[in-house]
Amino acid sequence: MPQQHCDVLIVGAGPAGLSLAIALCQAGFTSTVLDRQPATALADPAPDGREIALTHASGDTLRRLGTWALLAPHEIGRIAEARVHDGPVGRHAPLRLHPGLAAHGEAVTHLGWIVPNHALRRTAHAVASQRPGVRILAGAQVAQVSVAADHAAVETMPAAGDAGDPAAPRTRLQARLVVAADSRFSAVRRQLGIGARMADFGRTVIVCRMRHAAPHHGIAHEAFGHDRTLAVLPLPDDPADGAPQCSVVVTTGAAEAAALMAQDAATFAAQVQAQFAGRLGVMALVGERHAYPLVATYADRFTGHRCALLGDAAVGMHPVTAHGYNLGLAGVEGLARAIADARQRGQDIGSADALRPYGRAHHRRAWPIYEGTNAIVRLYTDARPLPRAVRQLVLHGARRLAPLKAAIVGELTGRSPWRSGTLGRDTQTPLR
């Protein structure tokens, strides 16, 4: 067998890739994490406007990895309740989702947490960079990925170079397994010959922080409009002066998004304030607005011979149900466990047989959530009379049926009834 540089090569130093490297180190494996961004950007990422809603199960995972402890107090917000509005805020009674009791009897006092994406990236890098079994190669652009009978290989070059230039200096790395964790538009996935179905919603998401006069009481709101969807998520108070803050997520068509991005800060804030019916009083923009095209992806398969997909490279979710990062962390635990189990059984950790349990389990978890989320988006952005009637029936039923509300809350908290089975253990049992 060719000389290996490590056990696992991970392409993508985002939170998923770095979290996998930490989990593998805890299980006694070595890994090399490659990313085209410079080391300074990985160590201290700039705010990108995205706030990540975390379930209780995800919080458990981050604590086991050691990254949760590095978050600053003002970076951890609690979601006490969620309210779903059909149409303009205040027109109909919203669906109210409280934490209550999880199905297995464990009391939870809040639905989950909300943490800035850049803070999750920073803390994952801080822990991974201190682990002796983890090597991080920054500024490394992947030129070629290949798999052979007994190893996987990645050829890299300086990120400033041209991957198509045969004269550019290249470094070849080998391992028993390569993991693609390089975004929903993964180039590594494509090089591995794995396709992905894509749902381009033809819409754009604008994310930003806002200050407001009235307290939010920890309540998250999702208001579905036919042309524009508004989410208002509770954040910790500003540590400087104690002013209440929220994360605002506006989803709309590309043309209107461009117009909103072009507005001055005061005009934009006034529009959001009006769409939210003034419930938080006067609102003001904090920092920059960020716009992202809305495309969901689902890979045709998650594993193969000497390769696996993780995070958005496996499943890139629509953000409306806030499951993307939580699925990514579940994938970290599942893939790390599959690799550890293979070693315990004396299997080659890069073999298709060793990786198949992860692929099957992650598909069983992700597929219903992915399809359900896309169905919700289509239903709640359709202005035709029949979908409008169906929306009202769904919300009316959810308000009246306690088991349905409990199931929704269980999924939001990561404490749903079905998680007490094998898949639940995949995400909640420590690797050590």
Mean pLDDT throughout 128-144? Answer: 95
Q: Which of 187-201, 203-217, 246-260, 386-400 has the lowest mean pLDDT?
A: 386-400
pLDDT score for 393: 56
pLDDT score for 360: 97
Mean pLDDT throughout 88-94? Answer: 76
Q: Which CATH superfamily is domain 6-197+297-428 in?
A: FAD/NAD(P)-binding domain (3.50.50.60)
pLDDT score for 125: 98
426: pLDDT strictly greater than 60: no
pLDDT score for 395: 54
Contact 31, 9 (CB under 8 A): yes
DSSP 8-state symbol, 107: B
Q: Per-residue confidence at 322, pLDDT binned at 50, 70, 90?
A: low
pTM, full prediction: 0.87
In 10-81, which residue ranges form alpha helices assigned H by DSSP?
15-26, 39-43, 56-65
Q: What is the pLDDT of residues 27-82, one digit of tens each?
A: 999 999 999 999 999 999 999 999 999 999 999 999 999 999 999 999 999 999 98
pLDDT score for 226: 63
Q: Which residues pair with 234 in a beta bridge?
A: 246
pLDDT score for 179: 98
pLDDT score for 203: 87
Spell out the SS3 assignment of 37-105.
CCHHHHHCCCCCCCEEEECHHHHHHHHHHCCHHHCCHHHCEEECEEEEEECCCCCCCCEEECCCECCCC
Rounded to whole angstroms, how far apart are CA atoms 388 and 293?
26
pLDDT score for 404: 41
Q: Per-residue confidence at 409, pLDDT binned at 50, 70, 90?
A: very low
Q: Which two tokens stand for residue 280?
A: 């938080």
Q: What is the pLDDT of residues 341-378, one digit of tens each?
A: 999 999 999 999 999 999 999 999 999 888 888 876 76
Q: What is the pLDDT of residues 188-233, one digit of tens each?
A: 999 999 999 998 888 899 999 999 999 999 999 988 776 788 999 9
